[in-house]
Structure 1
Amino acid sequence: MSENGLTPRQTLLVWSLLGQRGQALQGAILPEVVKADREQLEARRLIKVSRQARGALLLQLDDKGWAWAAAHLTDAVPPAYQVLRAWLGLLSAHLEQHGETLAEFVGPLPEGAEPLPRSPRAAGRSASARALTPVGMRRKIGQAYLAITGGKTGESALLRDIRAHLSAFDRVTVDDALGRILAGDKKARLMRINNPNALTAADREAAYDPAGEPFHVLWIMP
């Protein structure tokens, strides 16, 4: 076991999921997933495991898994995979040089991608019900922002307009992404409109209000 608490084989499983943008059916992962490794990663909340149609298992990186991966790009992998370790080292250097996060580099799943053919129940779900990584939702917010500002950064965009552009997603999903921005996004900020006379009913309704201090504006730096 390495200093990070994962075996090289468990580390390799994390990279396998990253290579598929954070989720994959267990049967599609090579080398074959060992049950003990899967259960230990799930117990540490690095991955989530859910049962799909016909008993297939879907493995997804949890938020803690994304954070772990970003901090351990140069960790040991099984001896047969040293080429992978060399490439991960280059990736680590690239991210540091360009100030890019691992999640931004990997990117979201292609829109509408499904790990299995959808069942009749799943076929009726909206876009908000489909699996979307936190990075994917953050990218959706960025796209909405640019649509509102005419493609410009360094501008203010009202959350009422952001929510209108993201109407395909439920409020909880959008709020979760706004919470991540508030928690420490390097490129985006949430701001308040402190003058109550400048707020409309729509502004108040659309505000992100995690603790009784509502935010009304999104700003993304150039």
Structure 2
Amino acid sequence: MITKKAWLGVVLGLGLAPAVLLCAVNGFLPGLDDVVDPLGRPSQLSLEVIDSAGQFDTLTGILVPKHAQLAGDIQALDPLAHDLEGLTTKAGELTGQAKTLNSSTGDVSAIAGPLPGLVANVTDRANQASPTVAGLSTAVGSVTTQLAAINTGLTTIEGTLGTLGPKATAIAATLANVEEEARHVQELGPLLAVVGPPVNSLNLPPLGVATTPNP
């Protein structure tokens, strides 16, 4: 059985020899403070540990509401996850629609292919029609001039008719008198039918006209 002195000697030898070797290699000469407090002020370390524990409690107090809020947000995101699943399904259906759209786009492209040529033809036709339109414009101008001349003539006729207005009134009065006299003659018609033949047989000259002797 090993004695106490032998045990202390072995422990000191095994512990002291490496320490001396490390000091020699690193050029470090330990002082009294290093021997008494090799860890460097344990009381300061204790205070720092206590302060860290207090900060940890504070951080825990902040994280607990955040954790509750995060749980609520996760629950709120659950319907969104279902919506995203439906959106993914609809996106899968878009593949067929995209193929149809590509086919329709090809048809539109085929239809639109002849359009540049048609536009060019229309442009050429418009250029060819320009002289005709110019001639038509000139003709319209001539017609306008003729219409202006006709308007002038109508104005002259209107003035002439204006001067004939009083004469027309007099003519109308004369015609009314003639109509009245004709009505009187019409009333004497039966009498003239009886008297006329005998009087005509006398060969009397007209009133106011000299008689011509018969040979």
Give the TM interval when normalised to the shorter protein: under 0.3
Q: What TM-score comes out, normalization by structure 2 length?
A: 0.18
The structure richer in helix per residue is 2
TM-score in terms of structure 1 length = 0.17
The higher-RCO structure (CA 8 Å, 6+ apart) is 1
Q: Which has the larger radius of gyration?
A: 2
